[in-house]
Structure 1
Amino acid sequence: MDSEGKKYWLSIAAFVLVFVAVVATFATFMQQTSNRIVSQTDQYIADATQQTAKLVSTYLQNAQMDIETVAALASESSQVTNVIEDGEWLGIVGTLAPFDTVEFVDAQGDLLTVDGNNVNVADRPYFAKAMEGQSGIETVFDSRLTHENLVCFYAPVRRGVDGPVIGLLLAHYHESRMTDLLASSFFGYESSVHLVLPSGEIIASSDGARAGDNLLEEAYATHGQGEEAARQLIDAFESQKDASFSYATDQGIRSVCVARVPATDWMVVETFPEVATANMIDAANAGGWRALVVIVIVFVGVIVGIVIYSNRKHRFFTREMRDRADVEAALDKLAGRTALVNIPLDHFRYVTGPVAPDGTTPTEGTYEVMRDRIVSMVVGDEARAEAADLLDRDHLLSRMRSGEDNVRFEFQVDRDGVLKWEDFNFICVARDSDGNPERLVYITQDVTALKRREKQMQQAMEDSYRAAIAANNAKSDFLSRMSHDIRTPMNAIIGMTELARMNEGNWEKVDDCLGKITLSSNHLLSLINEVLDLSMIENGRLVLVSAEVDLAELMKEMETVFAQRCLESSLQLELSMVEVRHPVILSDGLRLQQVFINMLGNAVKFTPPGGTVAVRLTERPSRMEDCSDYEFVFADTGCGMAPEFVEHVFEPFTREHDSRTEHVEGTGLGLSIVMNIVSLMGGTITVDSKPHCGTTFTVHLELRHASANGVDAEGVAVAGEQDGVNGRGEVLKSAGAAGPSESVADKQDAESGPSFAGRRVLLVEDNELNSEIAQAMLESLGMEVETAVNGQEALVAVDVHGPSYYDVVLMDIQMPVMDGLEATRRIRALGRPDAATLPIVVLSANAFTEDVQESKRAGANDHLSKPISIKGLAATLGEVLGR
């Protein structure tokens, strides 16, 4: 075949290739259209499944509220047993309530139906939960009455509102109702919707035939087609998270969505009909097929035209130039520079890439010319020498002879004064019969941005490492400080204990040792409480509780608390209120009290004898309606602080160590806790201090007035004329060298505590030493003490003895066999009337607010945090026993 013939057939082949490319392009376009439609169906099914899940959740929650309401109404009836066992009443409830059936189950598990059929369901999980006072939703497969799959709603029935549980009301939804609820369609095609348990069992199905089947078992058994979808379904159930996916079936593309039903652990699984997806894809691609037919006809016509007119050369050159331009444009976008290297001819030629305006950059020549040009641009003498070795012709060819087709280097280069990182690639595209490289393609790419990202990632890793080191150092510093602060009081406790043993018989010395042990123990407990408070604040667990607070009463309480301490330290204590027109506000009284105690405690500790500690409360107008700006000023004439320490005064574990403060005990946490509490309340705190001149802390809080009941017609406080301060800001009482205040004397009189002679207490404590201490305290109060070592023994003791045998139960929480909270719940659930009113006080080392609330929810009357004192124990017993 001559040269012209070859060119002719090459032109035909080129057109055929273009035709194939166009067909491939259209096929790709139609595939993308199909993918887009599948993506849309995924979104449709996801939205529909979410709506179905919400609908099912709302439907179930409304039904549960209905059965709980009916059970509550039955419990309030004075003849509750007669009412619920009356078949007519159940019939009426079944007619009015939105359920298919409503039955009553008595305390023995016998299910009483309207038509008189009885079955025992004591082994059903919902029976045990309802008898414990719970209500909820359960699924029953193959019920004993109808042999159907049912959704059951249950609620306990009590004898009276707070009485014992005497049975439960049980309502059902049959399969048909759930089938109707799940029915769904898309574009006239029914979809498949399943309501499924976490275990994979289908509760209900839109087609009514799949109830009872297990989707997860089917998924685990799936192999081949659909295996990936089965795995995604399993992952969605195991993670309890929503998921959408598609997979091919014999009928087409199936889109599936899994969504969790809110407020339950059930899942909704819904599929988009394959036939609907197929119809949508066919409709979208119909136009593409028509266009493809037109293109085929056009290309056939062009080829026929070429054959008829024999315009081979023109077509060839046109196509050749166009193809070259396309290739060069593509290479230009892909790489910065591209060159062809012919090894046997020792020649290179740049195909793409910018050329210097002055023509100094050679566009072709020997390989050495190209290598020298590249090496000359490399930045750095060492890098330049390395580049010269790596780009050596023999070195490069030896690497490619070993089987490498692509040899890469990265260097920083200087291109016309611009520093860049470039990736140099030599790609072998042809070898001789012996496997030696013949032709290479040289490509460079600008990787400056990539190197910058790598550097940023490396910097980020270094920053993370330094942060981890800092965190570890902070932990070590914290442990060191805590070790010192804990060992100091522990040393005193251990030492004074040994001294007391050494001085047996010398009661004066022993009493002195015991007093110092008590002082050190209180200091240790204070340290633990402050660390726990700081931990709650840093973890975001500190929650403010808003209630009415009387600031005048709070000031009076602070005077009562600190008067004796100021007297013993020869300090003058002054409290005043200035123009306080709204003393009753809404805030967290306990946290405000904590601020006062920390601030006044510091002032008293760091003020020498003869000094003054003062608190001034001022009310100022606020821009917010029904609010005022309250300024609390805590001032003392103590040792003051150095300016460099003032900047760190609110940091945890920070204390100024010098001759003025080294004798004062403390953890360095009080001011940090105060600052965090004030911040949580939306306020500010500032400090002004100078060495030997005293310190003044100023707290500003924007507080809302509780009501207008605390002011007279002119707006002046009428409840301020009390001990401590009045509404005009006058100091009514101060504590100093004159003697103790009346409130302190009253407090000392109250510490003697009440007597509980003849009262019997059940002490539940598994720790032998703690039990011995508590028993001794109770016996010192005149009480008869019986003990139990776990919740199970306590429950048996209360159950065995008759009503009113125990006057009170002291219950530890963490115990073997049965914990204290569970024992408390079971005591309250006993069928005796006195079990609901028997005073129960929880004893626990858990002292957080949520721990106290958990005790109250379990049925306890009060919560005492360990370590317990005899005064606190007597006060709590007096409250729960009505003394």
Structure 2
Amino acid sequence: MGQQVKIRDNEKKKTITSAVWGGLLIASILLITTLWVSNGARVGTSQAVNRVSEFYLEELAGRRAQVVSEELKSNIAYMENALAIMEESDLASQESLRRFLGRVKRLYGLDKIALVDENGIVYTEHSTTSGLSRYSFLSEEMTGPVTSTANLYGARKQVVLAIPVEGISFQGSRVTASFIQINIDEMLSSLTLQASNNETYCNIYHRSGESLTNDKFGNMEPGSNLFSAVRDADNADSTDHQQLIQDFENGNPGQITFNYQGFQEDLCYVPVEGTNWMLAILIRDNVISEQISSISSGMMTRGIIQIIITVLAMLLVFHVLTNQSKKHSRILLEQEKEDGNRIRAAYAQIEKEQAAMRNIQAAMGSGLWSMEFNEKAEIISCNWSDTFRNMLGYHNEADFPNRLESWSDLLHAEERDKVLGEYWETVKDYTGVKTFDVEYRLQTKHAGWRWFHTAGRLSRREDGSPITFVGLFMDIDDEKKMEERLEKQTIDLQDALAAAQHANRAKTTFLNNMSHDIRTPMNAIIGFTSLAATHIDNTEQVQDYLAKITTSSNHLLSLINDVLDMSRIESGKVKIEEKETSLPEIMHDLKTIVQADISSKQLEFFIDTADVVNEHVLCDKLRLNQVLLNLLSNAMKFTKPGGIVSVRILQKGNAAEGCASYDFQVKDTGIGMSKEFLEHVFEPFEREQTSTVSGIQGTGLGMAITKNIVDMMGGTISADSEVGKGSTFTVSLQFKTCSGSVRQEVIPELNGLRALVADDDFNTCSSVTKMLSTIGMRPDWTTSGKEAVLRTKLAEEQNDSYAAYIIDWLMPDMNGIEVVRRIRGIIGEETPIIILTAYDWSDIEEEARNAGVTGFCSKPIFLSELREVLESPFASPDSEPDEQEENGSFEGKKILLVEDNELNQEIAVEILQEAGFVLDMADDGAVAVEKMKAAEPGQYDLILMDIQMPIMDGYEATGQIRKLENPNLARIPIIAMTANAFDEDRKAALDAGMNGHIAKPIDVPKLMEVLGEILK
């Protein structure tokens, strides 16, 4: 029995021993197998990462080279644009050429732009240099852009970019080239990959291997020759060295690896298009190797942990079986301790490798992405690096899980299908040849959409282990923005060039036209002046010549004013000044101004209003007048005798509270414009036909001036036209109202009474009848004089007579005066009859009153004016005006004339003495001040003061006179009489203390009017 127990114990020990050895054998097999498989995974992953890294470096270098090339192209475009906008005036002298080069330099931000002529003379903004010792390559005939890395002023970082020049000559010599100097260090600063302590560098080399910068490049001496550095490398390989030289000479891209001062370096280089430069990127090899380790660390660590867990489980079983054996217990405890150390070491290694991976990814400026697939291309695992997560604004795996959807869901909709399609094509290409290479936008957490570039490849293994995909992400948002800026700059440059060329062509055409247009009135002035001198004794003939001289002079002045107005608008000197303005006053003044031209050209003229309830507004009266006069002048100019010109003001109901909106329409039946020209009608210097063709003179600036003024007033202007049928211009403006609307209430005395409107213009009839309805009358209207007489008879027969008549002066079938005469024969003398006219009625007033006209009303008629005329006592005619004081009141008035120009003095003296003034002269402001200091009170009644004088100008002279101790002298009226004729000049005169402003050339009636107001 004891022997059997002993045998069983021995068998038990043998069984335990067999189990222990079997477990150890299985564990060893698992460990060896896992290590072998993991090593295969490491090798495969290493191959994938190496291939992606090579591709990544090539792409990185290529992108930087492209940015350098685009920068050079932009500079070439700048020079070409500068040459394209050069005008003959810029080549008039060395000073004008230097000014032009200075403007170009400031406009495009270029460094030292210069021109070179065929004699080797170099012209810059500040100097003229003979000889090309420093720029000898420019003496050769160039066929295209050229870059030179010649040593300038002892600094390699300055290079020359030159282009050939054709068709430009300066001072008798042909200009052959234009060039600028470029600071390469500044250009490279925008290409910096990261700080140099991350062991990644970028530089530009000449094809000779010479560095174009003084930047650090790895451990090489700054500015050193790349060929020499590679030749002196620790593992100098003549094959790599020769390959490097050959690639540089032929401008081929490539990569080599070499050891330099204890570090293994990966060098990638690509040519810069259009230059003899090579862009090189240098990265330490440990960056790549550590990245490989970090990629495979996850797979390796999982294998090790699985083995450890298996061994621990088996040892736990052994512990139960050998619970009674202390020796086995001690072995188990030691094994557990050793395994614990291994686990801690494994985790420490993982953390170390992950830290290395983060550093490498930061150095590469990229994020990492690795995935594993089975044979069916199904995802086994996905791993996003923390660097990539941080790029997108996520800080942990919980925010950005290790799933493909974390990335794909952030893709921009415009690129999503394309990017995912190419990704799965790459994954299913088990040969590993295809590269996943895409650019796309991702939605970041806090920074919106950013551009990324991803490159990745598969690593397939034949041993059945998972297929690994490794990808690198690079944030290229800054590069994309730079490309967009370059593209926009290119487009802007092209637009600017086109605009400049168009402006040059327009100005050339303008000058050609102006040469004719200015010479035409000048020829008339000179010719008729000569004829007047020849026929000085024939008073009637001389007066005719003088009238024609006056007409030509006024036309010449209008041409000059247009040019000056356009210049001031373009320079921003024209300001809009809003003041309380009466629209009726503006429209009546406008009618008065154009009446003479309307009559002389034998045109029909209509002017009316519609729905105007706000007659007083805040606006710039002068500019509004200028706009309407420009439009009316054009309408009259391009309408043949017998044609129609009309003006209409319409108030619209779409204005904000406290404002009123108006349409001013100017219409004609003139020659019209083509649809093609309508697109350019508001551009400067544009005329559909020159005066030599159409016989109509002008600058081509009127519509451009009008458009600019309307824009400054916050309005719009549009044109509608058809050749041969006329044109319609509509100006839409909104003004603030400075009083309420015109009274809309009924006039009690006229409420319910009838009124008759007779006018051949339907718009006038419609407008006036609406106003009559507003004040309570029952209006009828007709466009025929004969029908007006007939309606009057019918009204009398029906005992429903008209209480008021408003009749147009000129109607086609019957003259308005005759209509009044016939109506008076029917109704008697009591009922008021008002003549409505757009013309001056002074010549027919006596005849009209004899025919029975009660009063006159000027077109366009406004509601306030209609109310006033209907509320007045109609039966009594207007009282005769008081006799005006004659101009003899100027007799004996004393004027101090301050004028430095002898010719202007002579003209002013003749005009003023004829009016009865006594004159004293001062030929400078300083003289005028001394005369006033020595004057007695009452010695002068008024001072006419020029502004621009050599010693003391008119403003300063006025200021000193106003400071005189004698108040009677200090308060003397001073009127500016000057060629400074703009609004700001008038304001400056008033601000200086003057009492008025008269513009030269002198308008005699205007001068007398101003003098009369001051001296009354």
What is the TM-score when the length of structure 1 is the normalising length? 0.49
Report the structure number with the largest CA radius of gyration.
Answer: 2
TM-score, reference length from structure 2: 0.43
